[in-house]
Amino acid sequence: MPNAIWIVVGIVAVLVLLVLVAIVGQFINLYIQAYVSNAKVKLIDLIGMRLRKVDVRAVVISRIRAAKAGIPISTAQLDEHYLAGGRIHNVVSAIIAAKKARIELDWDTACAIDLAGRDILDAVNTSVNPKVIDVPNPNLGRGTIDAVAKDGIQLRARARVTVRTNLPRLVGGATEETIIARVGEGIVSSIGSADSHKVVLENPDNISKAVINRGLDSGTAFEILSIDIADVDVGENIGAKLQADQAEADKRRFQAEAEKRRALAVALEQENKADIQKNRALVVLAEAEVPKAMAEAFRSGHMGIMDYYRMKNVISDTDMRTSIARPEDNK
């Protein structure tokens, strides 16, 4: 009976040993590779990373690369950044490139930039090799920046801005769109303050100097190295067009006022004609009362027969003179 127990214990021990050998065998190559590269990694750390679903090979290779570049990065730091969702390969490559270029970039800053969603490797490359930004951005559908000088002539300009990444301001700093907008605004302001478009055409570099001296890269993730005016074209005569539009507007306003006065005069004329007709009607009514009054005076004995005919002749002469004075009544 005791022999059977020992046999069972021996079998269990062998199985455990085989399991341990199998587990260790998965990491033995990485362990040896790290050991000979002077970037030692403990087996227990490798097993723990495997249990935490960490890419063990990526961590070990990144540690070896950092150690060969003389950058002290521990396995725990790589493990932590991987679990936080970072790209350890990009971060290590960026730190190595920054060290070779003598750019100060520590591990915590690089991890913060990477976790913020920025491409830290591209940022370091842009800091080493400055990039050129077109203003305006042709992908947005606009080919030129349009501005008007004081003489009313429109100028259409294109600029190229050379920038490099400012790593300390990369987290929280504005992007390329802000640089494009600020430079475009500066160009419009510089052209608008010029007395003549000829001055701008003669010295386009004055625009670059005026714009770059405004500190447009403040608060952005970039440092502006230079602003070059690539092209300046003459556009429309905006001043003359505005004057023509103003003259046309004034013309329509004066025509409306004249039409208003004409309509008022026509209405006044019609009112006067109505008053004339009213007065004429009153005259006719008054004239109709005269014969009645004469007849009444004749019957009452206040007027003789001779006075009657004399008054009648006077009335006839008055009607005739009135007809001559108003020939339109005879039509």
Residue-wise pLDDT for 246-293, tens only, equals 888 888 888 888 888 888 888 888 888 888 888 888 877 777 777 777
Q: How many angstroms separate the CA atoms of 271 and 282, rounded?
A: 17
283, 276 Cβ separation under 8 angstroms: no
pLDDT category at 325 given cuts 50, 70, 90 is very low
226 pLDDT more than 50: yes
H-helix or E-strand containing 273? helix 238-299
231 pLDDT more than 70: yes
Residue-wise pLDDT for 143-167, tens only, equals 888 888 888 888 888 888 888 888 8
Kindly report the average pLDDT of the chain as a whole number: 79
147, 154 Cβ separation under 8 angstroms: yes
Q: Which residue has the higher pLDDT, 328 or 101?
A: 101
Residue-wise pLDDT for 28-50, tens only, equals 777 788 888 888 888 788 878 88
Q: How many angstroms separate the CA atoms of 156 and 236, rounded?
A: 10
CATH architecture, domain defined by 131-241: 2-Layer Sandwich (3.30)
Residue-wise pLDDT for 48-92, tens only, equals 888 888 888 888 889 898 888 888 888 889 999 999 988 999 999
- Looking at residue 269, what is its pLDDT? 85
Q: Residue 176: CB partners within 8 Å, gap ≥ 6?
A: 133, 163, 222
Q: What is the pTM of this model?
A: 0.59
Question: Domain segments of the chain: what residues?
Answer: 2-123, 131-241, 267-330
String of DSSP letters for 134-198: EES-GGGT---EEEE-TTSEEEEEEEEEEEEE-GGGTTT-B-HHHHHHHHHHHHHHHHHT-S-HH
20 pLDDT more than 80: no
Residue-wise pLDDT for 162-194, tens only, equals 888 888 787 777 888 888 888 888 888 888 888
